[in-house]
Structure 1
Amino acid sequence: MSLLFDQISPTPAAAVLGVAGVAATTWALVRRRAWTVPRALVGLAICVYAVGILVNSAFPIYLGAVPDSSPWTTAINYRLFHETELDDAVENILIFAPVGVLLPLALRIRTVVGVIVGGFLLSLTIELLQLLNSVTGHGGHIADVNDLLANTIGAPVGYAVARLAMRLPPLRALAATFAWPGAGFSAEDRERRPAEPPSATAA
Structure 2
Amino acid sequence: MNDPFGEVPALPIVVPLGALVFVLLCWRLHARGRFSLPRAAVAAALGVFVAGIAANTVFPVFLRAPAHPAPWWSGVVLAPFADYEMEDALTNVIVFVPLGILIPLLLRRPRWWRVVITVVGTSLAIELTQLAVQDLAGGGHVADVNDLIFNTLGGVIGYGLLLLFGLLPGGERILERFRWSDGDGRSPAAI
Instruction: Give TM class, smaller chain.
Output: 0.7 to 0.9
Q: Distance in 1 between the 2:137 and 2:66 partners?
A: 8
CA apart distance, 1:6: 3.3
CA contact (8 A) 1:67 1:136 kept: no
Q: Distance in 2 between matches of 1:95 and 1:109?
A: 24
The aligned counterpart of 1:124 is: 124
Q: What's the TM-score once normalised by structure 2's chain length?
A: 0.86
Q: Is the 8 A contact 1:116 1:153 kept in 2?
A: no
Contact 1:65 1:136 in 2 (8 A): no
> In the alignment, what sits opposite 1:198?
none
Deviation at 1:27, TM superposition (A): 0.8
What is the letter of the counterpart of residue 30 of structure 1? H
Which residue is 1:62 aligned to? 62
* Structure 1 residues 162 and 110: CA distance shift in structure 2, 3 A: same
Equivalent AA in structure 2 for residue 11 of structure 1: L
Within 5 A, what are the aligned runs for 1:30-179?
30-63=30-63, 65=65, 74-179=74-179
Q: Which runs of 5+ in 1 are unaligned?
A: 183-187, 194-203
Supply the AA of the counterpart residue of 1:173: R
Answer yes or no: is 1:9 the counterpart of 2:14.
no
Amino acid at match of 1:131: L
Query: 1:106-165: per-residue Cα shift (whole Å, max 9, x none)?
Result: 123522111111110000000011111111222110111011111111111110111011
8 Å Cα contact 1:62-1:139 kept in structure 2: yes
Structure 2 residue identity aligned to 1:41: A
CA RMSD of aligned residues (A): 2.2
Cα–Cα, structure 1 residues 146 and 69, in superposed 2: closer, same or farther, change >3 Å?
closer
CA distance in 2, matches of 1:109, 1:8: 40
TM-score with structure 1 setting the length: 0.81
Structure 1 16/87 Cα, relative in aligned 2: closer, same or farther at 3 Å?
Answer: same
Q: 1:23-34 maps to which residues of 2 (within 5 A)?
A: 23-34=23-34
- CA–CA separation in structure 2 for the residues paired with 1:55 and 1:69: 22
Q: Which runs of 4+ in 1 moved over 3 A?
A: 64-70
Answer with 87-96 or 57-66: which moved more.
Answer: 57-66
Q: Which amino acid aligns with 1:174?
A: I
Letter in 2 for 1:120: V
Identical positions, percent:
34
Q: Highest Rg: 1 or 2? A: 1
User: How many Å apart are 1:12 and its aligned residue?
Assistant: 0.8
